[in-house]
Amino acid sequence: MLYRHDPAEKGRTQSASGVRYKAMARVLVVDDERSLRRTFALFLRDDGHEVETAEDVDQALTTLETDDFDVVVSDIILPRRSGVSLLEAIAERWPNIKVILVTGEPTVETAASAVRSGAYDYISKPVSSTKIRKVVASAARVKSLQDDNRRLQAENDQQRKELARLVELRTAEVRDTREALASTEARISRIASNIPGVLLQFERRPDGDFAFTFLAESAEQTFGVEPDAVLADARAFLDLIHPEHRDDLGESLARSAASLSLWTWEGRLVMPNGEIRWLQAQSRPIREEDGTVVWDGVMLDMTDRKDLQARLMLSDRMASIGTLAAGVAHEINNPLTYILANLHILGKRAEKAIVPSEKQDKARKLLCSEDTLELLRETADGARRVRDIARDLKTFSRSSEETQPVDVRKVLDSSVRMAINEIRHRAKLERSYEDVPKILANSSRLGQVFLNLIVNAAQAIPDGAADENLIELITCTAADGWAEVKVSDTGTGIPKELIERIFEPFVTMKPVGVGTGLGLYICRDIIQGLGGVIQVDSRPGKGTTFIVRLPPAPEGATGSPSKELKPAQPEQTVPRATILVIDDEANIGRSFVRTFPEHDITVVTSGREGIKLLDDGRSFELVFCDIMMPDLTGRDVYEHILEHHAAMAERVVFMTGGAFTERAAEFIEQIQTRRIDKPFDMALLQRAMREELEKHRRKGN
């Protein structure tokens, strides 16, 4: 730029007109008179301008084509072509140059014509130095300002273009980001919906409010409620938690929030359709600035796994029974041997006592002797031993998941009876039982743990030195109030390289083909499921001690109510009654008749016969009915009674030998009537009769 009006700029000069301007404004003076060209050039150079001259239009145009100029001062009257034609040429080709026309014949018309043609200004001759300097300075200043304006406009246009480019680029980036975000959200949503579980985020606010802030769509399939309903109100999910697990859920979340520790929880969910599902959740919380605790985690449907675990545990129990079958058979065969022998002796004595002969009196005395009573006592004792083993087998093989307060000492003794044949040839057994609190457990599962530990202890001791080895069972109450059970042996111990892995699946010290390698793994799983711990202490070559610690049953815990009866005092009398016995085993019905001659007892050996008696109008105060029968089951009989003789339904007492079909097992769990287990003693029957008769007679049925 050749001219800029800026008082602060160095290099500026003071003109005669008092106008400050920057030097180097380039001026072309066009006049055919040499003296005027020189005079104007002198004036303007004195003010700091760079000045070139031309004598006519053609020379001026040539000069303009070869160099840049800011101002042209031209006479109107020039040879061949006028200054106006030069003005027009400049206006067409160099419109930014300021043209000042000079004339010696000033008129209004010439001035107007000059302005119309685009002249910046018009000067009349004679021209003073002040006038020429002032007009050129003004033109140069305007030219400079216009150049600045054009430059700024160009820069502004460029900046607008750049801004538009940046906006377009930013818009594209935002669009791409939004599309990428939408794609990512869709991908995450697909992942969240297809992983084996429900991704979730929930929070507990400082005021205690609990809310879900994210829930994968898979929640609808897992929980049975729409995610939007849970997001709107957490109670849509919390109300589905099984009542037995709600307190545990709240307590586990409180502990996790207090210490920001890993939150884990396992419990049951009751879906809107009534289906029960097992859930397992895990998450690590964070605390936000306002005190809100946020959990990001996953909740898994563990129902199938729980079912598989139950089947695995039952399979392990059955495998244990199979392993111990020979020993159990031995424990049954021993009492059966002398039971049969005693019965043979008693039969011979009775035969001699009733057959007339010379020795009949002597035979009768022998039949009524103390020795005969001893034979009967031994026989009854042997029968009870067989019964106890049968009950242990039944308890051990039961697939029910019901829990109730359990005395660990009784479960230990039951496990010992199952494993006694493994023990007796390897070690002496010592029991040291102190009082312990009852625990809330499933007897069959707990028995599975103890049986595994006892059998392992026995098998860790080589055969042939029973007097030198010991298996010790100890129960006590720990300082923290938990029940503690110790199973110790003086066997070979566990090698150091296995001790850390002993509870892992398929880790075993037994020979190939012996055991599954899952026993201790299942034991740990069962104990942990009861809220307890199992530990091991072993010294190679000296023996091993397993320690099981279990929390006491909550105060007031009763578990599932038992439908089984406890024996009454045998001397208690039972009012005379009409009783129907339905059992496909005829000898059981006859035992009722012989044992209770004071009652009117009718015996039938099929469900159909029993139903026919009732349909024919026979009335009975009690009905003893077997569960498992070949034609119609006890369930079939009961359902017929409910439909056709409803008043009789509550008078039914079921008898069972313990072997159930799946349908029968389901029925047993559902019914509310009483049940007695075979083999039963007479005191048990007596109690059932008395209590049931008294109950119904009070009701006036």
| pLDDT the model gives residue 436 | 94
* CA 458 remoteness from chain centre: 41
| pLDDT the model gives residue 367 | 73
Q: Are 214 and 199 in contact (CB under 8 A)?
A: yes
pLDDT above 80: residue 525: yes
Length of the chain in terms of residues written: 701
* Pairwise pLDDT comparison (466 vs 136), residue with the higher score: 136
Q: Which two tokens stand for residue 430?
A: 């010592």
pLDDT above 50: residue 626: yes
pLDDT above 60: residue 610: yes
Q: How many CB atoms lie within 10 A of CB 265?
A: 20
- Do strands 483-489 and 543-550 pair parallel, antiparallel, or not at all (unpaired)? antiparallel
pLDDT above 60: residue 23: no
Q: Are 41 and 63 in contact (CB under 8 A)?
A: no
pLDDT above 50: residue 17: no
List, in sequence order, the alpha helices (H) in 427-558.
443-459, 496-499, 519-529
Highest-scoring range by mean pLDDT, 263-272, 312-321, 352-361, 372-381 = 263-272
DSSP secondary structure letters along 272-300: TTS-EEEEEEEEEEEE-TTS-EEEEEEEE
| pLDDT the model gives residue 396 | 61
pLDDT above 80: residue 284: yes
pLDDT above 80: residue 665: no
Fold of the domain built from segment(s) 401-561: Heat Shock Protein 90 (3.30.565)
Q: Which two tokens stand for residue 288?
A: 């936000």
| pLDDT the model gives residue 400 | 62
CATH homologous superfamily for the domain 195-301 = PAS domain (3.30.450.20)
DSSP secondary structure letters along 168-231: HHHHHHHHHHHHHHHHHHHHHHHHHHHSSSEEEEEEE-TTS-EEEEEE-TTHHHHHSS-HHHHH
| pLDDT the model gives residue 2 | 34
pLDDT above 70: residue 589: yes
Q: What is the pLDDT of residues 394-437, one digit of tens each?
A: 666 665 667 889 999 999 998 898 888 888 888 999 999 999 99
| pLDDT the model gives residue 578 | 92
* CA 218 remoteness from chain centre: 12
**Predicted confidence band of residue 178 (pLDDT cuts 50, 70, 90):** confident
| pLDDT the model gives residue 678 | 79
Burial class, 688, CB count within 10 angstroms (exposed 0-12 / middle 13-18 / buried 19+): buried
Give the mean model confidence (pLDDT) for residues 535-547.
92
| pLDDT the model gives residue 567 | 46
| pLDDT the model gives residue 602 | 94
**Predicted confidence band of residue 494 (pLDDT cuts 50, 70, 90):** confident
- Residues of the chain within CATH 3.30.565.10 domain(s) are 401-561
* Pairwise pLDDT comparison (511 vs 198), residue with the higher score: 198
Burial class, 622, CB count within 10 angstroms (exposed 0-12 / middle 13-18 / buried 19+): buried
Fold of the domain built from segment(s) 578-699: Rossmann fold (3.40.50)
| pLDDT the model gives residue 658 | 63
pLDDT above 70: residue 20: no
| pLDDT the model gives residue 511 | 56
| pLDDT the model gives residue 7 | 37
**Predicted confidence band of residue 283 (pLDDT cuts 50, 70, 90):** confident
User: How does DSSP classify residue 648?
Assistant: G
Residue 524 phi/psi, 5-degree rounding, is -60, -40
- Residues of the chain within CATH 3.30.450.20 domain(s) are 195-301
pLDDT above 80: residue 388: no
Give the mean model confidence (pLDDT) for residues 41-58.
92
| pLDDT the model gives residue 53 | 94
**Predicted confidence band of residue 323 (pLDDT cuts 50, 70, 90):** low
Task: Please give the span between the terminal C-alpha atoms of the chain, in angstroms, as a whole number.
Answer: 124
| pLDDT the model gives residue 564 | 47
Highest-scoring range by mean pLDDT, 254-258, 327-331, 516-520, 667-671 = 254-258
d(CA 61, CA 207) in angstroms, rounded, equals: 89
| pLDDT the model gives residue 281 | 86
Q: Are 197 and 218 in contact (CB under 8 A)?
A: yes
At 534, which amino acid appears? Answer: I
CA-based nearest residue to 536, from 527, 335, 40, 156: 527
Highest-scoring range by mean pLDDT, 214-218, 309-313, 587-591, 623-627 = 623-627
Rounded to whole angstroms, what are the CA distances from 328 to 323, 332, 386, 451? Answer: 10, 6, 10, 13
Q: Report helix, strand or coil for 312.
A: helix
Mean of per-residue pLDDT scores for the chain? 81
pLDDT above 60: residue 563: no
pLDDT above 90: residue 385: no
pLDDT above 80: residue 320: no
pLDDT above 50: residue 19: no
| pLDDT the model gives residue 93 | 92
Q: What is the pLDDT of residues 220-232, one digit of tens each?
A: 878 888 888 888 8
Share of the chain above pLDDT 70, in %: 82
Query: 318-327, 388-397, 484-493, 689-698 — which is least confidently predicted?
Result: 318-327
- Residues of the chain within CATH 3.40.50.2300 domain(s) are 12-153, 578-699
Q: Report helix, strand or coil for 521.
A: helix
Give the mean model confidence (pLDDT) for residues 304-316.
70
Q: Which two tokens stand for residue 338?
A: 């002398």
pLDDT above 80: residue 657: no
pLDDT above 50: residue 570: no
Give the mean model confidence (pLDDT) for residues 634-655.
90
* Pairwise pLDDT comparison (560 vs 457), residue with the higher score: 457
pLDDT above 60: residue 513: no
| pLDDT the model gives residue 6 | 38
**Predicted confidence band of residue 331 (pLDDT cuts 50, 70, 90):** low
Q: Which strands, in side-by-side order, build the sheet including 50-54?
A: 50-54, 26-30, 71-75, 98-103, 121-124
| pLDDT the model gives residue 630 | 84
Q: Are 140 and 50 in contact (CB under 8 A)?
A: no
Residues 6+ apart with CB under 8 A from 388: 417
Q: Which two tokens stand for residue 466?
A: 């029973």
User: How does DSSP classify residue 539?
Assistant: E
**Predicted confidence band of residue 370 (pLDDT cuts 50, 70, 90):** confident
- Do strands 483-489 and 533-539 pair parallel, antiparallel, or not at all (unpaired)? unpaired
- Bond before 679 cis per omega within 30 degrees: yes
pLDDT above 70: residue 166: yes
**Predicted confidence band of residue 333 (pLDDT cuts 50, 70, 90):** confident
| pLDDT the model gives residue 507 | 63
Query: 152-166, 241-255, 510-524 — which is least confidently predicted?
Result: 510-524
pLDDT above 50: residue 13: no
CATH of domain 12-153: 3.40.50.2300
